[in-house]
Amino acid sequence: MPDTAFVRSEMLPQQAPPITERGAVKWLRENLFSSPFNTVLTLIGLAVVFFLAQAALPWLMNSVWNATSLKECREIVWASAGPEATGACWALIRERWHQFLFGFYPADLYWRPVLALGLLLISLAPVLYYGLRKASVTLVGTVAALTLIALAMLDHDPTHLVIFALGLGGLTATAWVAPKRLLVLTVIYPLLGFWLLWGGSVWAPVGVAIGFALLVAVYLATKSYLGVVVATGAGFVVAAIWWLAVQTSVTTGLEAAMPLGMQAITSDQFGGFLLAFVIGVTAIGASLPIGILLALGRQSDMLLIKTLCVGFIEFVRGVPLITVLFTATLLLGYFLPPQTNFDVVLRVIILVTFFSAAYLAEVIRGGLAALPKGQYEAADALGLDYWQAQRLIVMPQALKVSIPGIVSTFIGLFKDTTLVAFVGLMDPLKGVTTIVRADTAWKGIYWEPYIFVGAIFFAVCFGMSRYSMYLEQKLKTDHR
């Protein structure tokens, strides 16, 4: 009985969502025009982007790469885009890039800073990616390949290239076979890098290395009866005696018996990013351990140590970096005996290190404060002594918490290296830019050097920032 007139026997086909609820329109509505206020903001944003592009794009489109002076750049732009047109004159970078990167480092020795940078990154691999074979090999392999390409562009002697290729290939193979073995390179890198950059007799860094070896030997030999602190102190005393009293005669003797070295470069030939990296990397590397010790000292129960650490931290944080730099270059000149040639770059590095160590100490103290008391008590309950507790329980957690702050301090420190311009060193941003602008051929140029230098700074700082985010992810053990 057909008492129902109509029965739907199949489902209607699905219809596409309305136009406002799909695709680009939906995205625009949700993200850019979701409310009157957001619509206004979007329109303002678009206007800003439009005006910026209107101002900058023609300038960028008219870029000139081949010219010998700003005047020639302008003529090329006028010829191609009509009079009154403006264009970027990258020819300046093309002609002077080596001064932005290396300062006054002798051109035929550019392979030394390039190799030093390559080895620096390779020696960082086991620190950045400890025990991770794939990441280590990727980093070491990429860096080795890039370094080799750079070296091939600088030096056309095939025998040299074969030596470099073998060495860098060997390091990549080590990263593949035993990534942790690369730590050996990390340990010797400070002296190796120093020797590569400054040159001179190989025996001077070897002498310094012997001092450190003595320090470690004395520490290991006496640790069991003297305790960590006294053993370290004893090691320092022995090493200091070696460095101050014995080393010079031994190294001069060795140098006389077996002269081995390469052309010495003085610090005043350093400049540009080479200088920024030397100061930045050394200060970053040295300030972390000093900062940790200062943070621990500040929490110490021993009045003397606590007072000294607090005094140091508060004093340094209360003084602007510029003051510290002027002290390093000017005031020390009065205090030191005349004719002492205490390298100005070294002076700046030492004071910048102390400066950032004080800031790091406070960052790390923040990390220490974030640890629940139970962690300290658990360490005590396990019967660990102070240093074991710090090394195994406290520091790994405190440092993990402090990573964003530590990396911020590092990034700030790296950018602050440009302040050395005020004491007459050739930093890339102001120092080299000033000398380049003083050339009659390039006087009057403004944005191009800033953009070039800024881009490199951005790349380095952005890299540090991304690595810190990766590290935070990797070390994330909580279950929030």
The stretch near another protein (CB under 8 A) out of 5-13, 96-104, 158-166, 400-408 is 96-104
Kindly tell me which residue out of 87, 103, 211, 367 binds another protein, with binding defined by CB under 8 A. 103
SS3 assignment, position 64: strand
Tell me the per-residue interface mask from 286 to 325 with another protein, x by CB under 8 A, - otherwise: ----------------------------------------
**Residue 28, Cα to own-chain centre: how many angstroms?**
40
The reply on whether position 231 binds another protein by CB under 8 A is no
Q: How far apart are CA 139 and CA 184, in angstroms?
A: 17
**What's the CA dihedral at 369, 371, 377, 382 to 10 degrees?**
-130
Interface residues for another protein in 240-279 (CB under 8 A)? 268-269
C-beta of 440: minimal distance to another protein in Å? Answer: 5
The reply on whether position 54 binds another protein by CB under 8 A is no
Q: How far apart are CA 10 and CA 230, in angstroms?
A: 88
C-beta of 94: minimal distance to another protein in Å? Answer: 11
Q: How far apart are CA 199 and CA 453, in angstroms?
A: 27
C-beta of 279: minimal distance to another protein in Å? Answer: 16
C-beta of 444: minimal distance to another protein in Å? Answer: 3
> Which tokens is 207 given?
């002498």
Q: Nearer to another protein by C-beta: 313 or 420? A: 420
Q: Nearer to another protein by C-beta: 169 or 200? A: 200
Tell me the per-residue interface mask from 436 to 455 with another protein, x by CB under 8 A, - otherwise: -xxxx--xx-x---------
C-beta of 73: minimal distance to another protein in Å? Answer: 10
C-beta of 447: minimal distance to another protein in Å? Answer: 9
How many of the chain's residues bind another protein (CB under 8 A)? 36
* Amino acid found at 227: G
Nearest alpha carbon to residue 352 among 385, 383, 329:
329
Q: Nearer to another protein by C-beta: 214 or 344? A: 344
Q: How far apart are CA 190 and CA 349, in angstroms?
A: 14
Nearest alpha carbon to residue 364 among 309, 282, 315, 301:
309
Which segments of 62-202 does DSSP mark as H helices, in order? 70-81, 91-102, 111-128, 133-154, 158-177, 183-198
Are 91 and 67 a contacting pair, CB within 8 Å?
yes
Are 181 and 174 a contacting pair, CB within 8 Å?
yes
C-beta of 29: minimal distance to another protein in Å? Answer: 41
Using CB under 8 A, list all residues that contact another protein: 70, 74, 95-96, 99, 103-104, 107, 268-269, 326, 329-330, 333-335, 337-339, 421-426, 431, 433-435, 437-440, 443-444, 446
